[in-house]
Chains A and B, each alone.
Chain A
Amino acid sequence: MPILNFRVNGKRYEVAVEPTTTLLEVLREKLMITSPKMGCNTGDCGTCSVFLDGKLIRSCITAAMVANQKEVTTLEGIAPHGEFDPLQQAFLENHGTQCGFCTPGMIMAAKALLNENPKPTKQEIKEALSGNLCRCTGYKKIVESVQAAATQKN
């Protein structure tokens, strides 16, 4: 079995994986980092979104070995322990989360947007989150949360 050697949220890991194992399976089942969720396992819903070397990806359709020698960041790693990222604070205050199942992927997608475009328009936020499904909120409060985080940052 190939050995996957990578960093997750700043920590180094070495895991034996099958060539067909996905990054999501390694994160969840081997490392038990559970903020990335399995909503579809076919790349359609965005609940498994994480960063690979700073870029937003869907870990359910990414072969684990693609992350070899790379750095993965999940929601657990976006803020120093005990602190909140402005997005986390904004989702909390603006009720951008209901059941919470889509929230990790949603915040990661929003984070990817704000990293590139710190002052997005409402339309840009909607487009950036268009690959992330939420069945609870109706999206309005999610968009408001991202807007609030963007305003607070600047």
Chain B
Amino acid sequence: MTFQTVGKRKPKYEGIAHVTGETQFVDDMFVPRTLTVKAFRSPVHKGRILKLDTSRAEQMDGVASVITYKDVPANAYGFGADQPVLVQTDIRYKGEPIAAVAAEDEATAYKALDAITIDIEEQEPVFDVLKAMEPDAPQVVPGGNIMMFDDRPYNLATMGDVEAGFKEADHIIEETYFFPDQEHTAMETQVSLVVPEAAGRITVYSVCQDRSMLLGMLAGILQLGSKDALKCECASEWAGRTRSAWRHHAGLNRLKMQAGPVGGGFGGKNEFHADPITAILALKTGRPCKWRWTREEEILYSTHREAMHITYKDGVKNDGRIVARYIKTIRDSGAYVGFNGYATGKTNYFANGPYYVPNLRVEGAAVFTNKPVSSTMRGFAVAPVTFAVEAQMYKIAKTIGMDPLEFRFKNAMRRGDKLVNQQVMHDTSIIEVMQTLAKKAGVQLPDHLSKMTSYDRRA
């Protein structure tokens, strides 16, 4: 068969604009009378705000507005409805925004930040998930540091009988792996430009990667709809978790959001960074407001990939079949729920890799620490366990004295095998992928492996 597109190099859709410099990123947009936004961030990792004084900043020439938590219509967002736009009392990570200013220029904005004074009762933070899980650890969040999934301190996925599987095994092989957190460092930092329009509407120009979700959450925060919105019984769970909760009062008709072009995202622009604060200031001042994060802010305070501790316990037969596997992952969520609850489920399904194990138990825990919230990044919730499962496969093969490639073929998923969530795999091709890779890498496979197919039943 001949293809028009597959296998051919096609010109890039926005390529001409990129190579001529005509691509207009959000920071490349200039609207007359735009104010510069800067945030007053927490200088400590954990603490209680005793007194915040913005009065001197407010009175400065060239300062259009200073906002605090009092100016945020609904000051809790995210999938856990737990993240404040501006901290009211309890600081959970260093750099958490407490106040924000909009000024005529950047220099004035910085001067205004210097004029804000704060009294904080500093508290002991916790950064390490294993420490945070100890009973007497400092509490990051009021409900306890370990995220609950119904009545369990982890998200559970299970298939077969793991204990019976371990009894059947000739070898038990255990190891714990650690995957550190990681910053996306897109070349473009977080930027938001919010322009007030006629009739109380605003347009948000954002670098975000996830406009539809964030549009709903922003509507929840800004409450541009009905005045009774906050009195409404659904106000406590408006946060975008349930779409119906915000739809009837959120004032989506007043909100326009344009996303991109994105100057590199890699998952680092999936959650709110600059938009809510910039939008509140634009609404308050009636003037366009722009907030561009510095590189330092981006590295220190933006979302990042979660760090993860990953433990495998494998029961393996002498012939190389894995008959039982227990996996425990502990993800460092940072200070808020964000995507972390959802991510444990995703991790659970991927933690076993492209292999079939009949008896499988996967526990995905998420633990709060005094760090910015962990979030999406390329191979979201999957990359850490992919690293770990392959390292474990290698370790097992070496321990039982089998070639690591042969060991992988032996345990590779076949068509009809089940994932831990009971999903039947109708179209697996891991065997064929490994055969192709071996060929490309110049590795000569023994006959029985090069003839294997995804349709074969396991020996």
Contact = CB atoms under 8 A, between A and B. Distances in A.
Interface of A: 28-29, 32, 34-35, 37-42, 44-45, 47, 74-76, 84, 88-89, 91-93, 95-104, 107, 133-136
Contacts of B184: 135
Interface core residue of B14, B18, B188, B264 (most chain A CB under 10 Å): B18
A40 B261 CA distance: 19
Contacts of A102: 187
B446 interface: no
Among B20, B23, B263, find the residue whose CB has the most chain A CB atoms closer than 10 A: B20
A101 B19 contact: no
Contacts of B188: 37, 39, 99, 101
Given A97-B12, A99-B261, A136-B264, A88 B20 contact: yes
B110 interface: no
Nearest to A74: B21
Contacts of A84: 19-20
A133 B186 CA distance: 10
10 contacts: A28-B28, A34-B25, A37-B188, A84-B20, A91-B19, A92-B11, A92-B16, A99-B261, A102-B187, A135-B187
Contact of B17 (A37, A47, A100): A100
B27 interface: yes
B294 interface: yes
Given A101-B186, A104-B21, 12 more contacts: A37-B188, A40-B295, A41-B294, A75-B20, A75-B21, A89-B19, A91-B19, A98-B264, A99-B265, A100-B14, A102-B187, A107-B19
Interface in B1-38: 9, 11-12, 14-21, 23-25, 27-28, 30
A80 B292 CA distance: 32
A84 B142 CA distance: 60
Interface of B: 9, 11-12, 14-21, 23-25, 27-28, 30, 184-189, 261-266, 292, 294-295
A38 B19 contact: no
B264 A99 contact: yes
A84 B186 CA distance: 27
A99 B20 contact: no
A101 B264 contact: yes
Contacts of A100: 14, 17-18, 23, 261, 263
B215 to A, nearest CB: 22
A41 B296 CA distance: 10
B300 to A, nearest CB: 14
Nearest 7 A/B pairs, CB to CB:
A35-B21, A100-B18, A101-B263, A34-B28, A75-B21, A88-B19, A97-B18
A97 B15 CA distance: 7
A25 to B, nearest CB: 9
Contacts of B185: 135
Contacts of B295: 39-42, 44-45
Contacts of A95: 9, 12, 15
A95 to B, nearest CB: 6
